[in-house]
Chains A and B, each alone.
Chain A
Amino acid sequence: MDSEALWLTLRLALTTTALLLAIALPLAWWIASGTGAVRALVQAVVALPLVLPPTVLGFYLLVALGPLTAPGRLIIRLLGHPLAFSFSGLVVGSVLYSLPFAVQPMVAGFRAIDPALAEVASTLGASPLRIFRTITLPLAKPSVITAAVLTFTHTVGEFGVVLMLGGNIPGATRTLSIALYDQVQDFNYAAANRTAGVLLAFSLLTLIAVYWRGAARRSVLG
């Protein structure tokens, strides 16, 4: 078992999840709070990683973050090294790749809230911030948790983007799924079996926890 790769994978998934919650929450709320062409466009862009081959996303990011583009050159000047083939580069890629997994459950959650609740609260004198904090957010909490779990597990299982953008640097970009690929390339099936087992068990346990929790909630709230 490659414990360095395991630790790196967890660190990447945690960082990505934290960043994505901060980005996706306001974005999802904005998408859910209206209609129109601009919102449709933003939603389409957000959903793109669902259908795009991860290697395509990885390739564009590799080019965009490298010395061939102005933003890439700026990053290299500021950091002293390119974002590609570094942990930070992987975080950028993972955030984009998992964006729909964070945004879409939250949009569904916000849309499921009866708009009359916010209206009533406003006629009772509650400010928009208070309404969001005490009514909208608590009612959307189950979908925010779903979004966080999906983002985390999806990032753990990421392969194409990591390979294109990060390569295979132990301790920096070599995640579990990359380690598994490596082990298979080396015909080290015993090690590959252990790595695959860890990823399978982790995914399955997470999903069981999500469904179990969902069932418990339904039986409590009727």
Chain B
Amino acid sequence: MRHHVGALSLDVRFVLTKPWNVLFGPSGSGKTTILRGIAGLVQAKGLITPRGRRTPLAPQSASLFPHWNVADNLTMGGGQRGHGDSREILKLFRLDDLKDKLPNALSGGEAQRVNLARATMWAENGGILLLDEPFNGMDVALRDEIIHDMRAWLAKRNVCVLSVTHDVAEAFQLGAEVIKIADGKVIAQGPVEAVLAEERERLLKQLI
């Protein structure tokens, strides 16, 4: 896809090959704009997405609907067909105890979980799910459990994930296919061990 906004120019082409794909790059490299383009929120030339299909996006700022409790945030007030089982999703994202709370009563990490749960629930079978820095502010133990359960849930429905991160450890943990972005261009794509080998070395050195 091609996209221009002021000084930012984006020209990227990639194919989502694995169940979980990670867009990796520094801030301002255009990762979020790519997600927004695929979701249909910005105009882009040559953008190819499945027509007439939902591509749910979990934005970086949780953006929960403030007038609905957690359960209604998931179902968008209810009454709309085509979403997965919200009870199953509440359990998967450990939201059972929070389902009657309003967004302003949630912590940052809790709100992020609802955001993630909402997008996941609306993903279509065989479709794409877009996640922008999805595990920000989530505590590590819970994050590992949720990633594990989410994978199983998505695999059952053949949903392909494209998630954005600038966190090397997270990309390795997801064991994902990595698309490395810099200045609005794809500079590498492949398995995480190959594409982020250099970043991993640097991270390990810092730790020692």
Contacts and interface: CB of A to CB of B under 8 A. Distances in A.
Nearest to B66: A139
B88 to A, nearest CB: 17
Nearest to A116: B63
B77 A134 contact: yes
Contact of A123 (B56, B65, B102): B56
A114 to B, nearest CB: 7
A121 B76 contact: yes
A80 interface: no
Interface in A24-79: none
A124 B65 CA distance: 13
Contacts of B28: none
A126 interface: yes
Contacts of B77: 134
B104 interface: yes
A133 to B, nearest CB: 10
A168 B149 CA distance: 76
A184 interface: no
Contacts of B61: 116
Contact of A222 (B65, B82, B104, B119): B104
A122 B41 contact: yes
Nearest to B58: A120
B41 A139 contact: no
B59 A124 contact: no
B130 interface: yes
Contacts of B54: 123-125
Contact of B82 (A117, A119, A125, A135): A125
A116 B59 contact: yes
Interface string B81-121: 01000000000000000000010100000000000001100
Contacts of B45: none
Contacts of B41: 119, 122-123
A215 interface: no
B63 A117 contact: yes
A190 interface: no
B104 A221 contact: yes
Interface string A123-152: 111100010001100110000000000000
17 contacts: A117-B65, A119-B39, A119-B41, A119-B63, A123-B39, A123-B54, A123-B56, A123-B122, A123-B130, A124-B118, A124-B119, A125-B54, A125-B82, A125-B122, A138-B67, A139-B67, A221-B102
Interface of B: 39-41, 54-57, 59, 61, 63, 65-67, 76-77, 80, 82, 102, 104, 118-119, 122, 130
